Amino acid sequence: MRRQVVKLKVVLALLWQFSQAQAMGLLEAYEEALRNDPVFRSAVHENEAGQQSAEIGLSGLLPTLSITHAHGINRGTISQGGISEPLDFNNEVTTLALRQPLLNLEAVAGYRQGIAEANSSQARFAGHTHLLIVRLAEAYFNALLAQDRLALANAQRDALAELKLVNEHMLMRGEGTKTDVLETRSRYALAQAEVIEAQDEWEAARLALATLTGQPVTQLDSLGEAFRAQPIHPADYESWREMALVRNAELVTQRYMVDSSKQEVEKSRSGHAPRVELVASLSRNNSASFVTADRNARLASVGVEVNIPLYAGGRVNAVTSQARANQARTEADLDAMTDQVLLELRRQYQLLQSSILRIESLEIAVESAQLLVEATEKSIRGGVRINLDLLDAQRQLFSAQVDLADARYNYLLAYLRLRYAAGTLQLDDLRSISGYFVASK
């Protein structure tokens, strides 16, 4: 039995060494996700498009300059006194025109709306950038947990395989019982099924991480032994709530959308307002006619054009009412989003608190399970316990170790999600978390 225990420890050591080979670190995975995640790349291009809203809005306040050119060819004949003469002359008109808005309330509202939409796009992109940290960490931790469970399943299966051989040999020598053989065979078959299930989970988690990073995933860094959960700072929920109301990316984005909808109302209302433009033009006219010779004329003009809308078939009132309804909708969406953000903030705050307590409890459970394994080994040598008792104790230890790793992953993820909900998540937070992991070898 001592040889079986030693072999089991060797298997676990080999699995741990294999997990360190060619491992992808958390920060390396994030850098790959920045380049390759299709969702984030879509957000990049969405922001690029959104930033043009400010330029589009500004263009309504700037002058427009245009040039037009007309060229005409005239061919014909003229008859006089029975004599026909051919006519052949050309007309050319070139005009350079400048228009500068002096009073245009619709353009002013459009400019302000463009600024609001560009700011909304920037805030949304910042949210996508921070969310990528959470998405990457979640996929990474899921893969790590699946890897831990696969290592546990393999270790238990190999230990049962060894015990099955021992019991079969003992039965052949008349020293064992058929009951022991049947029980170990049954447990081995179940362990084999658990390995298959764990392998499927590992492949699925690895594929999810590879999809995010755009790189094949073989092995990952693992949590170090010096893991220590840190208390929440700030400790009170109200401080987190105040930060979220001001800095949460979704709320900031929606507030800019409310501003945009307000400017849409102003744009619609300005349909009744007069417009004043400075108009200047410079023309050159080279022309002739049936009765005149070629003439060259140049004309420069400067003036003010006033456009006063009188009636537009009720369109202005209709679009204004529509814009006001959309403004009310965006304000209601902001209220709903605020409730949702605060609910998620509270959930992650409580989850982070409970994760700290759960980690402390599971650390005690792992320590107790380790002592149970050692005590069971001594009892087997004294003839009080049997081999299956040791396997049960080892299974309890391995299960507690996996549960502890899961609790630690949940703690780290809750920490990131809490800071994301509060709008304070930064790359430095991911760097800090990466310090919990063993460096790749």
Q: How confident is the model at residue 194 (pLDDT cuts 50, 70, 90)?
A: very high
Average of per-residue pLDDT across 289-294:
56
What's the pLDDT score for residue 330? 97
By CB atoms closer than 10 A (0-12, 13-18, 19+), residue 152 is: buried
Between the CA of residue 280 and those of 13, 104, 105, what are the distances in Å? Answer: 85, 18, 21
Query: Which of 122-126, 197-201, 249-253, 291-295 is predicted with the least confidence, judged by mean pLDDT?
Result: 291-295
Average of per-residue pLDDT across 399-419:
95
Rounded to whole angstroms, the Cα distance separating 401 from 189 reads 23
Long-range contacts of range 357-360, CB-CB < 8 Å, 24 or more positions apart? 358/407, 358/410, 359/229, 359/404, 359/407, 359/408, 359/411, 360/229
Neighbours of 413 (CB within 10 A): 21
Q: Quick one: tokens of 41?
A: 């790349």
Q: Which residues contact 417 (CB under 8 A, 6 or more apart)?
A: 134, 344, 348, 351
Per-residue pLDDT at 345 exceeds 60: yes
Phi and psi torsions of 274, nearest 5°: -70, 160
Q: Quick one: tokens of 283?
A: 């023309």
What's the pLDDT score for residue 17? 45
pLDDT tens readout for residues 323-344? 999 999 999 999 999 999 999 9
Q: How confident is the model at residue 306 (pLDDT cuts 50, 70, 90)?
A: very high
Per-residue pLDDT at 110 exceeds 60: yes
Per-residue pLDDT at 410 exceeds 50: yes
What's the pLDDT score for residue 57? 96
pLDDT tens readout for residues 221-269? 988 888 899 999 999 999 999 999 999 999 999 999 999 999 999 999 9
Between the CA of residue 152 and those of 41, 60, 197, 331, 400, what are the distances in Å? Answer: 37, 66, 12, 52, 11
Q: Quick one: tokens of 322?
A: 């529509």
What does the DSSP 8-state code read for residue 347?
Answer: H
What's the pLDDT score for residue 374? 85
Rounded to whole angstroms, the Cα distance separating 373 from 193 reads 24
Q: If you average pLDDT over every residue of the chain, what do you get?
A: 88
Task: Mark 385-395 as b/e (b = at least 16 C-beta within 10 Å).
Answer: bebeebbbbbb
pTM: 0.84
Per-residue pLDDT at 386 exceeds 70: no
Per-residue pLDDT at 81 exceeds 50: yes
What's the pLDDT score for residue 294? 62
DSSP 59-83: HTTS-EEEEEEEEEEEEEEEEETTE
Per-residue pLDDT at 357 exceeds 90: yes
Per-residue pLDDT at 283 exceeds 80: yes
Tokens 């969405």 belong to which residue?
Answer: 46
Q: Which residues contact 50 (CB under 8 A, 6 or more apart)?
A: 117, 118, 120, 121, 122, 124, 125
Query: Which of 22-26, 98-102, 210-214 is predicted with the least confidence, judged by mean pLDDT?
Result: 22-26
Asked if 423 contacts 247 with a C-beta cutoff of 8 angstroms, the reply is: yes
Per-residue pLDDT at 167 exceeds 70: yes
CA 120 from centroid of its chain's CA atoms:
16
Q: Write the Ramachandran bin of 214: left for phi over 0, alpha for psi from -120 to 50, otherwise beta.
A: left
Average of per-residue pLDDT across 140-162:
90
Per-residue pLDDT at 55 exceeds 50: yes
Q: How confident is the model at residue 117 (pLDDT cuts 50, 70, 90)?
A: very high
Query: Which of 79-93, 132-146, 355-369 is predicted with the least confidence, judged by mean pLDDT?
Result: 79-93
Average of per-residue pLDDT across 414-436:
96
Phi and psi torsions of 273, nearest 5°: -85, 150
Q: Quick one: tokens of 262?
A: 């307000």
Per-residue pLDDT at 438 exceeds 90: no
Alpha carbon dihedral 331, 337, 338, 341, in 10-degree steps, equals: -170
User: Could you tell me which residues are beta bridge partners of residue 66?
Assistant: 97
**Sheet with strand 275-287: strands edge to edge:** 64-80, 83-103, 275-287, 295-307
Rounded to whole angstroms, the Cα distance separating 40 from 59 reads 30
Per-residue pLDDT at 288 exceeds 80: no
Q: How confident is the model at residue 19 (pLDDT cuts 50, 70, 90)?
A: very low
Q: Quick one: tokens of 353?
A: 């608190």
